[in-house]
Amino acid sequence: MEVEDTLSLETAKCAEVIKARVAPLEEKIEKMKRNEERLKGESNDLNLKIRELNGQVKLKEDKVALYKKECTRKQDEKTDLQTKMQKQQERMQQQLDETKIEKEVTEKKLIDEKDARSKEIGSMAKQLREMTDRLESDIKVRDERIVALEDKVRVQEKEFESLKLAQKDAKKGEL
């Protein structure tokens, strides 16, 4: 019994030592559990915040992707518009060049026609001068003939008058 008493005493001492040592450990465990729960709560809160932020980041990334897509589309439209404008400018320049060429050709034709008409008019003017000179010469000759004929007619009229007078004189002398 003594051994049992000693054992029970030893066991009691050990139990007290264990209790003395376990109690702070249990307090620490309890404290750690509270800290763990607090940290789990904070972790959950942080995880929620991370999810929220990831959602916001995703939204922003989606917006950025849409913006990039829109920018690319706008750039493509701009490039297409620039290409169209360049082609239109080239067409307009070609039309302008063609118009200039047509104008030059037309001006050359008009100048050639003008030169040809000037030559033709010059030739006609020369012919007209020649005809005028011939007509004036013919008129002068005719005028001279008319004057000569008028002179001849005057002379003949005078002769006729003289003959008439002579005839009158002869009739008077016969009477």
Residue 151, in any domain of the structure: no
pLDDT, averaged across the chain: 88
Does 118 map to a domain?
yes
Give the pLDDT band of residue 3 (cuts 50, 70, 90).
confident
State the total domains in the chain.
1
Distance CA 92, CA 85 (A): 10
Please check whether residue 173 lies inside any domain of the structure: no
**Local structure of 1: helix, strand or coil:** coil
Alpha carbons 32 and 43: distance in angstroms, whole number: 15
83-115 confidence digits (pLDDT tens): 999 999 999 999 999 999 999 999 999 999 999
Residue 175 has pLDDT above 80, yes or no: no
* Residue 19 included in any domain: yes
| Count of CB atoms situated within 10 Å of the CB of 148 | 10
pLDDT of residue 1: 65
Q: Provide the domain limits for residue 4.
A: 1-127
In a domain, 139, yes or no: no
CA distance 25 to 32: 10
